[in-house]
Structures are given as structure tokens and as C-alpha cells.
Amino acid sequence: MAKIVLDKLTERFAPGDILETGSQHGNEWARVVPAAWFQVAEFLRDDPSLRLNMFVDLTCVDRLPREPRFDVVLHLYSSEKKHRVRLLSGVPDNQAVIDTLVPLWPGANWFEREAFDMYGVRFEGHPDLRRILMYPEFQGYPLRKDYPKEKRQPLLRRLPGSV
């Protein structure tokens, strides 16, 4: 149903930007390079024949040991055309940065904060990139595959110099 979205994307963007498209279990998805992340999302939102104007979900997947290690995953919905698309973009471990989508959808704010909190992927240009579910003193990123499930951390760390 949403095949038109993928066709439009491959038609509008260079093959270097759209790496792969596909469809599985009724979900259409496209994989883009991080550099084209913002432009593709903006195109999907504004193109009159696609109108994927509704922000649904944004998260990350840690695909260790694959390189690039993290996938940033965005789900969009068109409230007018009733179709959906999933957008993925791989970012490497040593350069886990991608453009923020807050200028396009203000609701992306908390979702990007959560992705940063859980996976340590930074969103360039985010207005307020703080931890959201964990506390500020927490060290590490709990949903990374190399973060042990049983690891314990003190709730608050002693400040240096305090007794």
C-alpha cells in the first residue's frame, strides 16, 4: 500500500542517499545515510502525494557486532493517506551522531532524549539533550548490548572530596 512512498523516495533522492528499501509483514521501510536523514524526513512530511505528517515513534537498535553499530529508527504515519513508513539510518559507534528532527516534529524531543539516554546516540541540534528515564549521574547507556543486565550502580555518586 505504501509502495508509492518507497518509489517516490528512490525517484527523488540519489542512490547514494537511499541505501536500501524493502517491505516485510506489511511494513515498508527505507534505509538512508545519516547525512540525508533530515532532508528525507522533511521530504516525507511535506511532499503533497505522501504527506507523512504524523510523528509516531523514534528509537534505536543496537546491532552489535554489525558496523555501523546503531540504527536510528523512525516511524511516520500519514493521517490523510493512512499509510506508514519506517526510516532507518545506521550510525557507527565512534561517531554516533545524527541530525535532530525536533524542527520538523516537536514531539521528537522526548523520543530523541530517550534514544540518547538508552543508547548514547547524540542528536545534533537538539534543544535539550538530557537523560530522560535515567538519572543524570547514571554512567553508561543501559540498552546497549554490551551493558550487562545485572550491573549495579550507586544511585548517587559521592562528590570528590566528600567524606
Partner 1 sequence: MSADVNAQLEARRRVVFGESDVSDFPDGDSDKDLPTEVMPLMMGPSHPAMHGTIRIALEVEGEKIKTADIQIGYLHRCFEKEAEYATWTQIFPYTDRLNYVSPMLNNVGYAIAVEKLLDIDNKIPERAQYIRVIVGEISRITDHLTCLAAGAMELGAFTVFFYLIKTREWLWELLEEVSGARLTHSYVRIGGVVADLPSGWPAKLLDILAKTRTALSDADKLLTRNKIFRDRMDGVGIIARADVEGWGLTGVVARSTGFDYDVRKDHPYLVYDKLDFEVPVGSTGDNFDRYACRLAEIFQSMRILEQALAKMPEGPFIIDDQRVALPKKRDTYNTIESMIAHFKLIMDGLHVPPGEIYSFTEGGNGELGFYIVSNGEGRPWKCRVRPPCFANLAVLTKVLPGLFIADVVPTFGMINMIGGECDR
Rounded CA separation 39/52 (Å) = 13
From the list 40, 72, 118, 121, which residue makes contact with partner 1 (rule: CB under 8 A)? 118
Instruction: Report if residue 21 touches partner 1, rule: CB under 8 A.
Output: no
Between CA 158 and CA 1 the distance in angstroms is: 56
Residue 92's contacts (CB-CB under 8 Å, 6 or more residues apart) are 67, 68, 69, 70
Q: What element of type H or E holds 124?
A: strand 122-124
Q: Look at residues 40, 38, 50 and name the one whose alpha carbon lies nearest to residue 20.
A: 40
Residue type, 36: A
Which 61-80 positions form the footprint of partner 1 (CB under 8 A)? 61-62, 73, 75, 79
Around Cβ 18, how many Cβ atoms within 10 Å? 20
Least distance (Å) from partner 1 to the CB of residue 145? 8
Q: Which of 4, 35, 97, 133 lies at the binding interface for partner 1 (CB under 8 A)?
A: 133
Nearest approach in angstroms of CB 39 to partner 1 is: 18
Q: Does 135 bind partner 1 (CB under 8 A)?
A: yes
Interface with partner 1: number of residues (CB under 8 A): 35
Residue ranges binding partner 1 (CB under 8 A): 24-27, 29, 53-57, 59, 61-62, 73, 75, 79, 82, 84, 86, 105-107, 109-111, 114, 118, 131-135, 142-143, 149
